[in-house]
Chain A
Amino acid sequence: GESVGLHLPTLSVQEGDNSIINCAYSNSASDYFIWYKQESGKGPQFIIDIRSNMDKRQGQRVTVLLNKTVKHLSLQIAATQPGDSAVYFCAENRKNTDKLIFGTGTRLQVFP
């Protein structure tokens, strides 16, 4: 397989548990944030996004929390499944641009 995420921080969780992946962003001018999932050998897949006028957004089994005070973003995955194993990246979008700045990524490993 591909060597995406060889040196990334790793979160190991048991199947069925909840996962929380954290991300610190750099620029207080960023107003839009996205979480991506990247499986081995594939491109990043959009999971969920949030704008800076919100502090929480929920999707199917996923929740994103945004704390603008400390410039922190988290992704919560409920009832983690083996198919959730991947590298997860947060990305911030600087205001008035379409450019994304990516975080370093976190590898999620789900074990039975």
Chain B
Amino acid sequence: SAVISQKPSRDICQRGTSLTIQCQVDSQVTMMFWYRQQPGQSLTLIATANQGSEATYESGFVIDKFPISRPNLTFSTLTVSNMSPEDSSIYLCSVSQASQFFGPGTRLTVL
């Protein structure tokens, strides 16, 4: 399976600021996804990161809050904009390669 890395691994941010999370894959993949895992909960799909076009967002998630870039087949970023404490979560990227595999996650705490 692909090796997936994320940066940063964790961060503590002030409300009102924005954080960009990077996801790097060691091989070219067509499908990349971003998930959110709120404390003590399961994973929820935020969006599908499409290479060369705008991301496809799930219900309840909007581009202004979670802008996503996908400049090539090995890299994507997710920005959490204008953060509030409710955005404190683990953010995970995943890739579809026969099955779906996840990165290690970015643990975000918003004060």
Contact = CB atoms under 8 A, between A and B. Distances in A.
B43 A2 contact: no
B42 A43 contact: no
Report whether over half of chain B's contact residues are helix, strand or loop; otherwise say mixed.
Answer: strand
Interface stretch (A10-18, A68-76, A96-104): A96-104
Contact residues on B (Cβ < 8 Å of other chain), bracket:
20 to 34
Contacts of B101: 46
Interface string B42-78: 1111001000000000100000000000000000000
Nearest to B96: A98
Interface of A: 2-8, 34, 36, 41-46, 49, 89, 91, 93, 98-105
18 contacts: A4-B37, A5-B40, A6-B39, A6-B40, A36-B102, A41-B107, A43-B92, A46-B1, A46-B100, A46-B101, A89-B42, A91-B43, A98-B33, A99-B45, A99-B48, A102-B43, A102-B44, A105-B42
